[in-house]
Chain A
Amino acid sequence: EDQVTQSPEALRLQEGESSSLNCSYTVSGLRGLFWYRQDPGKGPEFLFTLYSAGEEKEKERLKATLTKKESFLHITAPKPEDSATYLCAVMYSGGGADGLTFGKGTHLIIQP
């Protein structure tokens, strides 16, 4: 069973059409939930860290929220340059290693 599940796997939107990406997790002892953006052929680019349920963070057209079992990345009025793969990752106690556990990502395409 995957510890971090992202949905949908792929999403195609029209420019200006707002939507949300989901990241659900089954780990306990969450130390942090992270959102990254990855463009083709590049490394993941850090977006947000969330630490506790109820926390929200915003950056331009993106807003990340966290509950006890999932996080949402809300994209408001997206532009074509927002097209990328969005990755969610968690760090948790008892994971056996001090690294991030990633979901498989949501591939987002914004059409002009």
Chain B
Amino acid sequence: DAGITQSPRHKVTETGTPVTLRCHQTENHRYMYWYRQDPGHGLRLIHYSYGVKDTDKGEVSDGYSVSRSKTEDFLLTLESATSSQTSVYFCAISAGPPGTEAFFGQGTRLTVV
């Protein structure tokens, strides 16, 4: 898995609570990404980072925030979880620049009840 660890792997949370997912890499790659995967939609980009403290929005960023204070860690926070955020979340890393292949973690299955 190219030195990518996602935690937790599974989580059930209640509507309205904040949730933070963690992605940790050991490859020292510059780019890190958060995607969500839903039936009928495929993988969609939430946020990405192109360096420490440098982040930007993706296609489906509403309701999510990210932080990257160290090269190896990229955090995804659901500020107030909703049932529509029930999904499988994948972190990916890339040495960059854009156009370089990305490598994915094993995913976090999040259920919001």
Contacts and interface: CB of A to CB of B under 8 A. Distances in A.
A98 interface: yes
B1 A98 contact: no
Interface string B85-113: 00000101000001111111111000000
Main secondary structure of the interface of B (DSSP, over half): strand
A46 B4 CA distance: 14
Interface residues of B, number: 29
A36 B102 CA distance: 10
Given A43-B90, A87-B42, A91-B98, A97 B107 contact: no
Interface of A: 31-32, 34, 36, 41-46, 49, 51, 87, 89, 91, 97-105
21 contacts: A42-B106, A42-B107, A43-B4, A43-B104, A43-B106, A43-B107, A46-B102, A91-B98, A91-B99, A97-B57, A98-B31, A98-B56, A99-B58, A99-B59, A100-B33, A100-B45, A101-B59, A102-B43, A102-B44, A104-B40, A104-B41
